[in-house]
Amino acid sequence: MAKDIDWGNLPFGYMETSKSFVANWKNGAWDEGCLTDNHNITINECACVLQYAQTCFEGLKAYTTADGKIVCFRPDLNAERMESSCRRLEMPVFPKDKFVKAVIETVKANLDYVPPYGSGATLYIRPYMFGSNAVIGVKPADEYQFRILVTPVGPYFKGGVKPIKVRISDIDRAAPHGTGDIKAGLNYAMSLHNIVDAHNCGYAENIYTDPATHTYIEETGGANILFVEKSGKLVTPKSGSILPSITRRSLLVVAKEYCGMEVEERQINKNELKDFTECGLCGTAAVISPIGQIDDHGTTIMLPSGMEKCGPVMQKLRDTLTGIQMGTEKAPEGWVVEIK
């Protein structure tokens, strides 16, 4: 039985739900893990996560499909990406099969918080892990906690998808050969000052360039970037310091297999920005956020798709992927996992 929630007016924010999942790593092994109704965490004041930011996270969603099923989208890829994050941060890997099982169990324990089809809302799923024992010397923790929380969230865009205005950043998001390609909490912490400044200056986001030369487009603080060439080809930046977005990887398949588009992943010089017909940010929260204007230190680039509505290519990609997620388009094998 669904909760009595005004689904259509939900913010994109946190709401406490019935159950969360928790598992602990101690003495070199994970325990079985369990569901809990305790949504608070008690840790030592010297816990490694507090001292040295040893933490990583993931994000995915559960949806109610057109035929009433509850599903989530490609959780196996979230498990694989978290494995990469853990290995890079010297944290124990939570096994892929147990990760997917825990996601399913947590959603099942919160079925009454899954928004109905057509509401525009979804159940956001946040798996995360952190070093939990006291560490004062600079070294990895000996004990870890893996948790999954869920919360119903409203649509990222209230009132429909509208193009946004962004700027080319002076600040780097990631160091060369650093942690830009993993979903570490520290990457997001260092971007907070820059996103607040961007908002204060009237921009929705910052576009970061490569940290070595500041010549090539990388991504924003929280999303990968897609461009459409005049030829109709979909291109996306290629770099070792970009987070491998599951939404982007899925959209590239959608573009090629569903929309018949040519697709290319390559270095994109910022001097090319004036030549593209459309641009969009992609990620779990918004799927695609169309960009209408890019400001580069006094130079304003207006995308031909404009500031009034999403361009036709980005709209088609967005509609097709959300159709796959919501069950109105046939999904590729293994993309959609049924919860109920």
Alpha-carbon span 148 to 302, nearest angstrom: 41
3-state secondary structure of 130: strand
Packing angle of the helix pair 312-326, 246-253 (nearest 10 deg): 100
Burial classification of residue 319, based on how many CB atoms lie within 10 Å of its CB (0-12 exposed, 13-18 middle, 19 or more buried): middle
DSSP state of 102: H
Four-residue CA torsion sign, 200, 206, 211, 217: negative
Alpha-carbon span 266 to 277, nearest angstrom: 17
3-state secondary structure of 182: coil
B/e letters for 209-225, b = 16+ CB within 10 Å, e = fewer, are: bbbeeeebbbbbbbbbb
183 carries an active-site annotation: yes
Active-site hit among 26, 183, 233, 316: 183
The alpha carbon of 228 is separated from its chain's Cα centroid by a whole number of angstroms, namely 21
C-alpha to C-alpha distances, 153 to 32, 66, 158, 249, 269, nearest whole angstrom: 29, 18, 12, 23, 36
**Catalytic site positions:** 183
